[in-house]
């Protein structure tokens, strides 16, 4: 059979003959013609995809090959452009249904592997090895010659990629050399030395440093009764090696030289191949875990795959460090032993960095495990891999490949025939493994995690249930962390669970506590970290500056001061260091890092130079402020914050307009997307002395809960006091006090009065006018009319002093007058109406809402329930339009009161319950109290109606 007939068509139905050639000038031939891309980047892409034809090639590999480990910031976008152009070239110049598909984090060329010369070469070499092992050297020689004929020149010679030539061309050239050497060995063994002399002289001239060719030439000459020429051949080889490289010949060549001098070189052909080694069935599985807990769904799924009858099924169990991948694989393997009577093998890969190939010892160990004599193990990875596949043919073996670091490690060990099955565990997502079923593990559910801890420490969990739950939470529900904690507690019955939980609560020592004997969580995490690229390791350390919550992609971009972080995020996802959690309401992809991984990242971040951390956090703060200012200008708020003053921050990352517009398109979506990030960031900003900007940012974003607001204001006040910044301290105090106005109390009045006195003393006119407004409103809502009028007048005077423009952000005169007057008198209702109209004319959402709330309350007090209902519904619509849930909740309280007065008790109850849920979610103590009192009134009315 000729070499060209080995290149099989891609589409048998259409009869297309598509042939890809890499072993020489790059080309892809099809029914429409032959494609030889002119653009260098297109040749790199085509070569890389052909090398792994019909297999997913990760984006990271393509980027590395295109830019030789120095990708530009826009690498991913540029790659997409190259692929789009290459797709057009394939469609126009090749045809045959050859396409580039997007799949699984990479790209796949839909080209049959038997249509690519390099892959056919590898298959022919493997078939030759099998033929040799089966005692047919003539067939092996023919197969090897056929493989050699596929080479039309150096591999990847016209492909401009140092990385691709480094990774692939050198490997292929070595494989060619070994194939030629093996074929010549076989032919020498067949007894025709004279026919090989000419070829070997050519080979030694072309590859003078390859000593094996010199040795074969010496043997051929000696066996052809040309002993003097054989000795002269050795002299030439030695002279060349000394002149060119300064080296003496190797042991093999020197030993052969001495054998020729002693006339001790055997002339007989090679010994006939040995009979195949007897099969040895063995179980090498690690022990099953007796206290294994949970994973029932995953076990069922894996067992279904392994017993489905598919050809050599493969299951890949992936997940973050410590999640229990190896334990799950062992559990399934022990349960499935009966289905694989020829053996259950286990191989654990050494702890090496990603990118290193499988070590020869792994293949050697498995071959010897099957019964192959150590002296019969072939040399070279390709030969050993083929020998392993031959040994597994027609066998039923379950193979566990534990802690795989990369795809190449696994591919070298996969069986090729039905009957066997493979379970692979890896922290990395092994994208591109043909036919593999992916099983991704998450931390245990809380109930199962608590059950595991109870298995480990017994009845102490029942004695201290709250502390046990704390330990489970602090261990992140990771089985490895829980086993370490359980082992430590089991050896120390004198330690209370609460004390151990308290020690774990200190993030600075948590990973130190999770270490006992040979089990250490930090070491497990470190393996994934060191396997990252340099850029990804640096980015991972920067993530340690966050607080551990999930985060949108743009946050990492801001920390690193680069917009294009897609390839870094993808590397983290593939390494199971972060997990995608979908898109938030702004449309941004979000990612979550496990709590204990964040602890590790924080440890690394703390080792970064102080200025590096400071610059990164400042840039994130400025970027967040920039987006928040933009959001405020486009969507002013109702209850929270203040209008931004001054120029935007200068240190912000310049987000693209498309992303910026998407982030601020919906105010509630924006607030929700950054709420978890803002609180710890403001605290960190205060630590660095940026309390002024921290307080300013807190006024631009709707802080969800009273607890979060108190946490932020406490941080700002602490930092302000430490730096002597009295104005910022009182601004934070005012922000705290404003939350009390919804349920006015003596405390609110006292605190607002102290704020007013401070702002007057500090000559802060804007703060004075805001405080006067809130005092007027506070007294008015409390029904203290004279005091309300007094502060309303002072507020109006302050407005006049600040000028016309300032009035646009404060209550209109009619509004303050109406609030400060007895709202039981119907003649004051038009004042609320005019106040609302004035606020609407100026576009002031805050005072539109206040006016509508006051109008509804006043109308209800005088019995005009129709007007009260209209105002409450209008105010609710306003709050819902801008997505401000607290404002919505308070207006629902007002609407419930109106419905109660109307006698619509069910509707009143529904609105009050909706308000209560919002208050409870945001931990708003005043709101929870008001809603509860209202629901009690409604319930009482319902009981009265039922009695009647």
**Which among 272-276, 563-567, 747-751 has the top mean pLDDT?**
747-751
pLDDT tens-digit profile of 156-203?
Answer: 888 888 888 777 787 788 888 888 888 888 888 887 788 888 888 998
Residue 787 has pLDDT above 70, yes or no: yes
Q: What is the CA radius of gyration of the chain?
A: 38
Asked if residues 723 and 691 have their Cβ atoms less than 8 Å apart, the reply is yes
Of 131 and 869, more confident:
869
Residue 643 has pLDDT above 60, yes or no: no
Candidates 217, 524, 533; CA nearest to 353 is 533
Residue 102 has pLDDT above 80, yes or no: no
Q: How far, in whole angstroms, is CA 272 from its chain's centroid?
A: 55
Residue 948 — pLDDT band, cuts 50, 70, 90?
low
In the chain, the percentage of residues whose pLDDT exceeds 90 is 2
Q: Looking at the domain that runs over 530-609, which CATH code has it been given? A: 1.10.10.10
Strand, helix or coil at 57? Answer: strand
Task: Please give the Cα distance from 110 to 101 (Å, whole number).
Answer: 7
Q: Please work out, in degrees rounded to the nearest 5, the angle formed at the alpha carbon of residue 210 by the alpha carbons of 207 and 216.
A: 100
Read off the pLDDT of each residue in 915-925 and give the average, rounded to a whole number: 78
Q: What is the pTM of this model?
A: 0.60
Q: What pLDDT score was predicted for residue 757?
A: 92
Residue 13 has pLDDT above 50, yes or no: no
Q: What pLDDT score was predicted for residue 833?
A: 74
pLDDT tens-digit profile of 841-869?
Answer: 766 676 677 778 878 887 887 788 888 89
Secondary structure in 3-state letters for 615-643: HHHHHHHHHHHHHHHHHHHHCCCCCCCCC
pLDDT tens-digit profile of 530-588?
Answer: 888 888 888 888 888 887 667 888 888 888 888 778 888 888 888 888 888 777 777 77
Candidates 783, 709, 781, 790; CA nearest to 756 is 790
Candidates 130, 120, 139; CA nearest to 186 is 139
Q: Looking at the domain that runs over 1-190, which CATH code has it been given? A: 1.10.10.10
Superfamily of domain 296-435 in CATH is: P-loop containing nucleotide triphosphate hydrolases (3.40.50.300)
Read off the pLDDT of each residue in 607-623 and give the average, rounded to a whole number: 87
Q: Give the mean pLDDT of the chain.
A: 79
Task: Please give the Cα distance from 9 to 362 (Å, whole number).
Answer: 35
Task: Please give the Cα distance from 886 to 924 (Å, whole number).
Answer: 9
Architecture of domain 194-268: Alpha Horseshoe (1.25)
In this structure, what token pair is assigned to residue 155? 């591999």
Strand, helix or coil at 225? Answer: coil
694 membership: H or E segment, kind and range:
helix 691-698
Q: Which residues of 20-41 are buried (b: 16+ CB within 10 A; e: fewer)?
A: bbbbbebbbbbbeeebbbeeeb
Q: What pLDDT score was predicted for residue 758?
A: 92
Distances (CA, A) of 787 to 67, 230, 411, 813: 73, 118, 82, 16
Task: Please give the Cα distance from 43 to 269 (Å, whole number).
Answer: 46
Residue 813 — pLDDT band, cuts 50, 70, 90?
very low
Q: What pLDDT score was predicted for residue 351?
A: 66
Q: Please work out, in degrees rounded to the nearest 5, the angle formed at the alpha carbon of residue 176 by the alpha carbons of 173 and 177.
A: 90
pLDDT tens-digit profile of 513-522?
Answer: 787 766 777 7
Read off the pLDDT of each residue in 685-689 and give the average, rounded to a whole number: 86
Strand, helix or coil at 9? Answer: coil
Read off the pLDDT of each residue in 702-720 and give the average, rounded to a whole number: 78
Q: Which residues of 175-207 are buried (b: 16+ CB within 10 A; e: fewer)?
A: bbebbbbbbbbbbbbeeebeebbebbeebbeee
Q: What pLDDT score was predicted for residue 525?
A: 83
Residue 6 — pLDDT band, cuts 50, 70, 90?
very low
Residue 815 has pLDDT above 70, yes or no: no
Task: Please give the Cα distance from 103 to 113 (Å, whole number).
Answer: 18
Residue 732 has pLDDT above 70, yes or no: yes
| Paired sense of beta strands 421-426 and 314-318, if any | parallel
Read off the pLDDT of each residue in 90-110 and give the average, rounded to a whole number: 77
Asked if residues 425 and 325 have their Cβ atoms less than 8 Å apart, the reply is yes
Of 353 and 114, more confident:
114
Task: Please give the Cα distance from 513 to 711 (Å, whole number).
Answer: 28
Q: What pLDDT score was predicted for residue 548?
A: 65
Of 389 and 445, more confident:
445
Asked if residues 546 and 578 have their Cβ atoms less than 8 Å apart, the reply is no
In the chain, the percentage of residues whose pLDDT exceeds 70 is 84
pLDDT tens-digit profile of 459-509?
Answer: 888 888 888 888 888 888 888 888 888 888 888 888 888 888 888 887 777
Residue 754 — pLDDT band, cuts 50, 70, 90?
very high
Read off the pLDDT of each residue in 5-25 and give the average, rounded to a whole number: 55
Task: Please give the Cα distance from 778 to 746 (Å, whole number).
Answer: 10
Of 761 and 830, more confident:
761
Residues with Cβ < 8 Å from 197, sequence gap 6 or more? 217, 220, 221, 224
Task: Please give the Cα distance from 724 to 685 (Å, whole number).
Answer: 16
Residue 309 has pLDDT above 80, yes or no: no
């Amino acid at each position: 059979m000729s070499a060209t007939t080995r290149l099989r068509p891609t589409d048998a139905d259409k009869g297309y003959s598509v042939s890809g050639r890499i072993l020489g000038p790059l080309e892809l031939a099809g029914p429409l013609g032959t494609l030889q891309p002119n653009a260098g980047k297109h040749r790199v892409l085509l070569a890389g995809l052909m090398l792994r034809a019909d297999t997913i090639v990760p984006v990271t590999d393509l980027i590395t090959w295109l830019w030789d480990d120095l990708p530009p910031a826009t690498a991913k976008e540029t790659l997409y452009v190259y692929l789009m152009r290459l797709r057009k070239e394939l469609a126009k110049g090749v045809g045959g249904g050859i396409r580039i598909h997007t799949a699984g984090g990479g790209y796949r060329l839909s080209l049959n592997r038997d249509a690519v010369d390099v892959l056919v070469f590898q298959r022919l070499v493997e078939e030759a090895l099998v033929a040799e092992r089966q005692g047919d050297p003539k067939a092996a020689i023919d197969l090897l010659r056929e493989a050699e004929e596929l080479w039309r020149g150096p591999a990847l010679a016209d492909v401009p990629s140092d990385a691709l030539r480094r990774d692939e061309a050198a490997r292929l050239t070595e494989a060619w050399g070994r194939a030629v050497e093996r074929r010549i060995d076989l032919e020498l063994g067949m007894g025709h030395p004279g026919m090989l002399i000419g070829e070997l002289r050519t080979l030694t001239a072309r590859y003078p440093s390859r000593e094996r060719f010199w040795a074969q030439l010496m043997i051929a000459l000696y066996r052809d009764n040309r002993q003097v020429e054989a000795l002269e051949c050795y002299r030439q080889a030695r002279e060349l090696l000394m002149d060119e490289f300064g080296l003496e010949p190797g042991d093999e060549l020197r030993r052969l030289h001495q054998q020729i001098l002693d006339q001790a070189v055997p002339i007989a052909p090679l010994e006939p191949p040995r009979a195949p080694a007897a099969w040895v069935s063995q179980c090498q599985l690690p022990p099953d875990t007796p206290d294994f807990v949970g994973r029932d769904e995953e076990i069922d799924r894996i067992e279904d795959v392994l017993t489905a009858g598919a050809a050599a099924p493969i299951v890949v169990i992936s997940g973050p460090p410590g999640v229990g991948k190896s334990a799950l694989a062992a559990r399934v393997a022990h349960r499935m032993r009966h289905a694989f009577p020829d053996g259950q093998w286990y191989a654990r890969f050494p702890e090496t960095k990603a990118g290193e190939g499988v070590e020869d010892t792994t293949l050697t160990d498995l071959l010897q495990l099957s019964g192959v004599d150590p002296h019969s193990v072939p040399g070279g990875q390709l030969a050993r891999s083929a020998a392993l596949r031959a040994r597994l043919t027609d066998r039923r073996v379950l193979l566990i490949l534990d802690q795989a670091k990369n795809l190449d490690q696994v591919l070298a060990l996969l069986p090729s025939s039905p009957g066997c099955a493979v379970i692979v565990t890896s922290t990395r997502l092994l994208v591109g493994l043909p036919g593999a079923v992916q099983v991704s593990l998450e931390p245990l559910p809380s109930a199962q995690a608590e059950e595991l801890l109870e298995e480990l420490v017994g009845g102490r969990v029942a004695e201290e249930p709250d502390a046990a739950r704390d330990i489970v939470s602090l261990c992140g529900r990771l089985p490895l962390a829980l086993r370490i904690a359980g082992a430590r507690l089991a050896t120390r019955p004198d330690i209370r669970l609460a004390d151990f939980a308290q020690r774990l609560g200190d993030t600075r020592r948590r990973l130190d506590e999770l270490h006992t004997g040979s089990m250490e969580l930090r070491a497990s995490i470190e393996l994934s970290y060191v396997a990252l690229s340099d850029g990804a390791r640096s980015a991972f350390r920067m993530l340690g500056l966050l607080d551990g919550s999930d985060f949108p992609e743009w946050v990492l971009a801001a920390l690193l001061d680069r917009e294009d972080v897609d390839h870094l995020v993808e590397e983290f996802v593939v390494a199971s260091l972060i997990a995608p959690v979908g898109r938030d309401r702004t449309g941004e992809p979000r990612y979550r890092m496990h709590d204990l991984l964040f602890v590790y990242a924080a440890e690394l971040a703390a080792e970064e130079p102080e200025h590096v951390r400071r610059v990164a956090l400042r840039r994130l703060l400025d970027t967040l402020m920039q987006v928040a200012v933009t959001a405020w200008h486009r969507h002013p708020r109702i209850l929270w914050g203040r209008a931004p003053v001054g120029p935007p921050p200068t240190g912000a990352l310049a987000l693209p307009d498309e992303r910026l517009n998407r982030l601020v398109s919906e105010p509630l979506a924006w607030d929700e997307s950054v709420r978890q990030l803002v609180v710890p960031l403001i605290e960190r900003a205060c630590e660095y002395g940026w309390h002024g900007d921290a307080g300013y940012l807190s006024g631009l974003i709707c802080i969800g809960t009273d607890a979060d607001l108190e946490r932020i204001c406490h941080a700002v006040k602490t930092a302000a006091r430490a730096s002597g910044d009295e104005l910022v301290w009182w601004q934070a105090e005012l922000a705290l006090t404003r939350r009390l106005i919804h349920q006015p109390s003596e405390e609110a009045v006292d605190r607002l009065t102290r704020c007013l006195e401070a702002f007057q003393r500090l000559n802060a006119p804007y703060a004075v006018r805001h405080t006067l407004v809130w005092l007027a409103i506070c007294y008015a809502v409390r029904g203290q009319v004279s005091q309300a009028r007094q502060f309303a007048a002072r507020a109006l005077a302050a407005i006049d002093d600040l000028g016309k423009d300032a009035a646009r952000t404060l209550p209109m005169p009619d509004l303050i007058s109406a609030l400060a007057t007895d709202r039981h008198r119907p003649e004051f209702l038009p004042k609320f109406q005019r106040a609302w109209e004035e606020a609407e004319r100026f576009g002031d959402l805050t005072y539109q809402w206040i006016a509508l709330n006051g109008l509804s309350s006043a109308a209800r007090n005088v019995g005009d329930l129709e007007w009260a209902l209209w105002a409450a519904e209008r105010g609710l619509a306003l709050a819902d339009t801008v997505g401000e849930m607290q404002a919505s909740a308070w207006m629902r309280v007002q609407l419930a009161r109106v419905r109660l007065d109307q006698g619509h008790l069910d509707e009143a109850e529904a609105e009050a319950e909706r308000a209560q849920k919002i208050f409870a979610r945001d931990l708003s103590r005043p709101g929870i109290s008001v809603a509860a009192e209202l629901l009690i009134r409604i319930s009482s009315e319902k009981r009265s109606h039922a009695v009647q």
